[in-house]
Chain A
Amino acid sequence: MIHVGAGRTDTLREKADVVVVGTGSGGATLGVYLAERGWNVVMLEKGGFFRAEDFTQREEQAMADFNGRRGLDATIDNAVFLNYAEAVGGCTVHYWGDSFRAPGDRLERWRKEHGIDWMIESELDPHWAEIEKELGIHITPENLFNENNRLVRAGCDALGIEGHAPPTARIDCIGCGWTQLGCPYNRKTSQLITTLPRVSKAGGRIYSDAHVTQILKDGDRVTGVSASFVDRVTKRPTGTLQVDAPIVVLAGGALGTADVLLRNFEDDVVGKRFYINPHYFVWADFGRDIDNVTGIPCAYVVHGFRHVQRDAKGEYASGGYIMLTNHQSPAIASVMLNGIGAAHTEKMKRYRHLGSVMSVIDEDHPGRVFLDKNDIRRTEYNVRGVDQLKAVDYLRNASRIFLAAGAKEVIIPDVYGTTVRSEADVSRIDVRSVQPNAQFTAGSHLMGTAPMGTDATDSFAKPTGEAHRVRGLYVADGAALPGSVSVDPSLTIMGVARHIAAQMHTTHGRAGA
């Protein structure tokens, strides 16, 4: 049963084997695994419950309805816009559906550096295979390529750069173009329409608009959580809910999970590693109408630069990122494009001429999440050091790809008005363009704020997902990842959550039975 909590004024008490805080990639995957194996599952979601008929594809409404802080959240210096969802289904309501398994080299790093023995393909592949089957994940078919996707592919082919169509989570997609604003056709296989209904039908109770405020403990063991029902718009509390459970799983995303932990525990690790995979957006004017409003945002991924290349001295030379083809609705594009007054208006007049890509920088330097003196959650993140060099390398290679694809002009949307028409212009792109607040920058792959590992001084949770210092408290979302996945993390988070769920089931049996 899905219980809409918005505006509820009652006081409710529930008992469960496990209470899962968050209903996105991690929480829903874990929740359905346990619910279908007989566990008494309660799931709490801070955001609202929206269905196909609520997804109007209008930007103001979508951003306000299901983006965190109504789509207005940014780092404390406004240098990075933070894109995350708060809704039943979590980030999968607005994600693009790109569904990559974590690369083997990344798993190996996490195994070696953080002692997570099961971070190996043979352990995770069966989980990923099951999830891929359940969500209908398949390689993006040609009919979902729009012209922007095809042009980027042509540019890569001309330059001999590796790229391919990504696996995507959708069934019979009609290519309406605005998956980021929620799918009104139930074709994107988000957790909202796949796993969560299964949780519900297996006897689980899912409460929307339920903001967890306290983790309840008895000594060093959790006993449940208390939450407030909140007003859908103002987020002000209206009623209360307590869930008594011997196991609490935090899966509210890297920000939501960190928020709860910071308010409940003294811990030196929580929030100290905040990965976001910085996104810089490059635009290219083809001087004619190109279709970049239908299809899906990302039907082509440039993988040729994922690995960092070093010179003979071992210094950074190139790479350390992937590129995704990108399209944006006009209001969001207007934020991303540069210029003031008439200069900006002229760019918006060319909206239908513009192709675009975005970076997923595999950063070395994370930011942090913290509570300020007024107990408001804040974030700090600066692209710095070698990560700035990666960003510059990305801007240059994105420009080259668009020039090879026939673009008349490439727009680096920085405050200096950098434009690229030739290789000589490419070489002039430098770190000035990627200084904080030199161009619109975003992060939507939020990870690492309560990471797993064997070292309790460097991780919040053990490799099982259970907290080092609190028995029965688990983390099973992007927060639990030890670092950047280097590709879109959603499928990795799902696989990790399912593995944690399987371990929990093996360890506890049906908890409470």
Chain B
Amino acid sequence: MDRRGFLRTAAGGTAAIALASLLPAGCSREYPQATGDNVTLKSLTAKEYATARAAAEAFLVGVPVTASYVASAIDAELAVAGDPMLTDFKTVLGLMEHGTLLSFKGKRFTALSIEARTRVLEDWATSRIKLRRGAFFALKNFVVYFAYAQDSTRALTGFNGPLRERLAVPAYPVDFGGIA
């Protein structure tokens, strides 16, 4: 997908395109998180992984799922899903990582404290610019979805898990008329 497609549809898109085109790619020396987590990346760069991981740390306060698990699950899913989701999400991560430069004295998102990252996310969520709100939702939805799909969160939510895992009820038989 054309990375600009996502940006153009939202107010502020032109400025964002200009910004996104200037974003440095970064390298694994600057972003050692994936290596430190022993994750072999499938779709994201080391910088994008670090940004997703940093966002997960801010979103998942008190949730018994590690940020590294969530970031690696996002990486793995996007590798399979491909475009347009992959390029759109990479754009979101790039904008998030560098969108803090002006408001936080040159600091990138991944370099902020969790409290500061939370303030950034709140700022993006309530922004007057639709693009920022859209980026916020993309990031939030991915992070919480992959976290709460994990069995380790069941104690937190009180969810007992699918009934199928607790109660053996036979399926009604179906004759498909032959399967090849």
Contact = CB atoms under 8 A, between A and B. Distances in A.
Nearest to A75: B9
A238 interface: no
Contact of B175 (A178, A197, A352, A372): A197
Interface stretch (B35-43, B102-110, B157-165): B157-165
Interface in A176-229: 176-178, 181, 184-187, 193, 196-198, 200-201
B137 A341 contact: no
Specify which of A49, A53, A72 lies most central, judged by the most chain B CB atoms within 10 Å of its CB. Answer: A72
Interface in B126-180: 126, 130-131, 133-138, 140-141, 144-149, 153-154, 156-160, 162-165, 167, 169-180
Contact of B5 (A70, A172, A185, A372): A372
A56 B163 CA distance: 10
Contacts of B9: 76-77, 380
Contacts of A329: 159
Contacts of B176: 2, 196-197, 200
A181 B164 CA distance: 12
B126 A340 contact: no
B83 A376 contact: yes
A120 interface: no
Given A79-B134, A185-B172, A341 B159 contact: no
Contacts of A345: 60-63, 156
Majority DSSP secondary structure for residues of A touching B: loop
A4 B180 contact: yes
A2 B178 contact: yes
Majority DSSP secondary structure for residues of B touching A: helix
Contacts of A186: 171-174
Contact of A340 (B10, B58, B130, B157): B58
Contacts of B48: none
A348 interface: yes
A121 B133 CA distance: 44
B178 A1 contact: yes
A355 B163 CA distance: 19
Contacts of B131: 77
B125 A415 contact: yes
Interface stretch (A57-65, A145-153, A259-267): A57-65
B30 interface: no
A435 B121 CA distance: 18
A281 to B, nearest CB: 13
B43 to A, nearest CB: 12
Contacts of B2: 372-374
Contacts of A56: 162, 164
A177 B163 contact: yes
B145 A234 contact: no
Interface in B60-78: 60-63, 77
A215 B77 CA distance: 32
A415 B132 CA distance: 12
Contacts of B174: 51-52, 186, 193, 197
The 10 A-B residue pairs whose C-beta atoms are closest, nearest first, are A200-B177, A57-B162, A437-B133, A201-B177, A52-B171, A78-B134, A331-B149, A176-B163, A351-B157, A334-B148
Given A289-B158, A374-B2, 11 more contacts: A72-B77, A72-B85, A77-B10, A334-B147, A335-B144, A345-B62, A351-B157, A373-B5, A378-B1, A378-B5, A415-B125
10 contacts: A51-B174, A185-B171, A200-B177, A201-B177, A331-B144, A345-B63, A348-B157, A372-B5, A374-B1, A436-B134
